[in-house]
Structure 1
Amino acid sequence: MSTDTVIQPPKRRLRDRLPVVHQVRQSVGLQRGMLVVGLVLTGLFVLVAIFAPLIAPFGFAQLRDLEGPFGSQQPPSAEHLFGTTVGGYDVLSRVLWGAQTALYVIVIAVILSLFAGVLLGLVSGYFGGWLDRVLVVVCDAIYAFPSLLLAIVMAIVISGGQSNLWGGVFAAAISITVVFIPQYFRVIRAETVRIKAEAYVESAKVLGASNGRVMFRHVLRNATRTLPLIFTLNASEAILTLAGLGFLGFGIEPTAAAEWGYDLNKALSDVSSGIWWTALYPGLAIVLVVLGITLVGESLNDLADPRLRGRRRVAQASGEVAETSVVPGGTLIAGPGGLAGLEDGESFDEHGIEVRS
């Protein structure tokens, strides 16, 4: 008499269930390198933004200390590691405080556009009809308009000439939100139109589920796979749009907050005079932050693809010969590394019982 033994899968440790750790463990090769570099750059940006008041040697609008004025266009030195600007501000302090301003704009702009775009796309794709046609026309019109020009117009309308920190931040964030809403709308609407025709959605309707329950429990949960990529790309685009507004003179005044685009604008005349430090460090900050966020977004998009989830297991088991059997009651292990390689460690015995190695 034989007994079937079911091997219980080992419980994953808490640290293995953390989102970032889980994604890093899923990745492999160049993809892992890109994800790690992106996470390091993005994490460094967030930490600098949070602790800018503690690590910045001076205030963002400070022009002098106990020894007197800083001086204009001073080269890098022990007192000012990145030098000073044409206005007499410390470049290092402006760069560090600028990370805080950028984080404010990203959080406000992306969250507002995310909620508004997802909600409009879900309603439009699910109900259709005249509401869908109107929303599509409006969003397509906004999407076809030059984004930076639209942001400039909205910043002028919203700010009303205000130059304080929160007035400038909200003006930039809301102007960027208007630009980003059509992107979330189009993606969620297309996914909603596809998913609402699936059998499980129809079954939920037959069982008497309300439209709200079907929309948010069944449709929305399956329509947001691409949102991490769009979220990260929009975060990087928000930094570029904010820098563009500041560079063109529609950003935040230097006495209200530090902003990288404004500092680049004031450094234009310095570059032709051989004064390189006033433009190098704000520009480098923009490049590194945008690069880090973009690398994270691209890596998360690859890892969210179901076709690529088992790539790590397959890669580790490549070269191994699969064991197969056509004898009734025999083993059935297929593919490089067996089913454990293709199904992330899952295999089944002759009775269909899952066995974990």
Structure 2
Amino acid sequence: MSTPRTDSPTVAPAARGPRWHRLPVVSQLRQSIGLQRGMLIAGLVLSGIFLLTALFAPILAPYGFAQLRDADGTFGAQQPPSATHLLGTTVGGYDVLSRVIWGSRTAFLVIVTAIVLSIVVGVLLGLVSGYLGGWLDRVLVVLADAIYAFPSLLLAIVMAIVISGGQSGLWPGVLAAAISITVIFIPQYFRVVRSEVVRIKAEAFVESARVIGAPTIRIMGRHVLRNSTRTLPLIVTLNASEAILTLAGLGFLGFGIEPSSAAEWGYDLNKALSDVTSGIWWTSLFPGLAIVLVVLGLTLVGESLNDLADPRLRTRRAADQEPPEDLGATTFYPTDGGATR
């Protein structure tokens, strides 16, 4: 009887660990193993570089996104990489490095705005639809399916034309692009939240809240909503990469932000198409590489979190770690013949 009392306080604190181990990113890193951990770390590094570049763009960029000259004169068009312009200049005479750095800030603003709007609208509609049901639920489901059936880029183009006429300044352009992407993302959040609400509202704790006379708004906000949004971080990371691609597609097709108002990677790629056939590679390589690396980083984070949320992975990991724990317990805490049985 002394062995369980001795073993229990030794193992329990190690299993819980300090509080910072339970932080979202740290918790997922501790759960990941092998190649999955490498993918998650690589995704976090790429996403962190993108975030830091967007936040400190005015400090990192050597020139402004629309700057065409300095104290020595005009930059010149299609200049190759040099000490003055590390990544060369574009056909319009802009510094490529500065456009790439400032473009990260534009992409970051669009991602944050689009995801916040999508979560607010999609979660609210999913909560109301799943909990109340009835004709409202049927109408919202049909509308979500109809929107989801449209090609995402085509729907974004139509919304960009309706909202801003195709092109606009920085904040109007960011809002137009974000709202265009929001229309695509709302059905995804709506579906996920609605399915969780339909499942949770039949649980015993929700029924108990109804029995004691709790108001419907209180039940929906405090009990149902809190338990139906746990999978949203997985969708957010995947939608962030899709938002980058949609924004780049709008800019590439000429429905993005004007170059004098903000830097945008898709627009720069569109203007660099004619340079490729002339052997001028730097105007298209670096904006395209920025899109690829950011989308890759966000996708790696999203896929890794999605795998870690799979209960089969947690079961397999626990099964892999169980024999060493049993062996350690037998070695350090032997009993009267229990180790030989």
Common fold by TM > 0.5: yes
CA distance in 1, matches of 2:29, 2:222: 28
> Which of residues 197, 213, 216 in structure 1 aligns to 2:218?
213
- Out of 279, 282, 303, the position equivalent to 1:274 is 279
> Structure 1 residue 12 and structure 2 residue 14: aligned?
no
Mapped to 1, the partners of 2:131 and 2:249 lie a distance apart of 37
Change (3 A) 1:59 1:285: same
- How do 1:343-354 and structure 2 match up within 5 A? none
1:347 matched residue in structure 2: none
Contact 1:228 1:301 (C-alpha < 8 Å) held by counterparts: no
The aligned counterpart of 1:34 is 39
SS in 2 for 1:309: helix
Cα distance in structure 2, aligned partners of 1:154 and 1:142: 12
Letter in structure 1 aligned against 2:265: W
Q: Equivalent residues in 2 for 1:152-163 (5 A)?
A: 152-160=157-165, 163=168
Unaligned runs of 5+ in 2: 330-334
1:115 counterpart residue number: 120
Q: Give the CA deviation at 1:116.
A: 0.5
Q: Which amino acid aligns with 1:292?
A: G
Q: Which segment is superposed worse, 139-148 or 90-99?
A: 139-148
Q: Distance in 1 between matches of 2:187 and 2:131?
A: 17
Going from structure 1 to structure 2, the CA distance change for 1:18 and 1:219 (only over 3 Å counts) comes to same
Corresponding residue number in structure 1 for 2:332: none
Task: Name the structure where helix makes up a greater proportion of residues.
Answer: 2
What are the superposed Cα offsets for residues 199-224 of structure 1, whole Å, 9 maximum, x if unpaired? 33222222322222322232222222
Map 1:203-242; keep pairs closer than 5 Å. Answer: 203-242=208-247
Q: Which residue of 2 aligns with 1:51?
A: 56
- Match among 185, 193, 216 for residue 188 of structure 1: 193
Is 2:126 the counterpart of 1:124? no
Q: For each residue in 1:166-210, what CA deviation from the matched residue of structure 2 results, as whole angstroms up to 9, or x when unmatched? A: 011111001111111011111111121122222332222223222
Give the whole-Å Cα distance in 1 for the aligned partners of 2:64 and 2:52: 18
1:291 aligns to 2:291 (yes or no): no
Deviation readout 1:86-111 (Å, 9 max, x if unpaired): 00101010000000000000000011
* CA RMSD after TM alignment: 2.6
Query: 2:9 corresponds to which letter in structure 1?
Result: I
Work out the CA distance in 2 between the residues paired with 1:179 and 1:4: 55
Question: How many matched pairs?
Answer: 328
CA contact (8 A) 2:75 2:94 kept: yes
Instruction: State yes or no: 1:172 paired with 2:177.
Output: yes
Distance in 1 of aligned mates of 2:288 and 2:256? 16
Deviations 1:212-266 (A, max 9, x none): 2322232222222321221111111111010000000000111000000000000
Mean Cα deviation higher: 21-30 or 93-102: 21-30
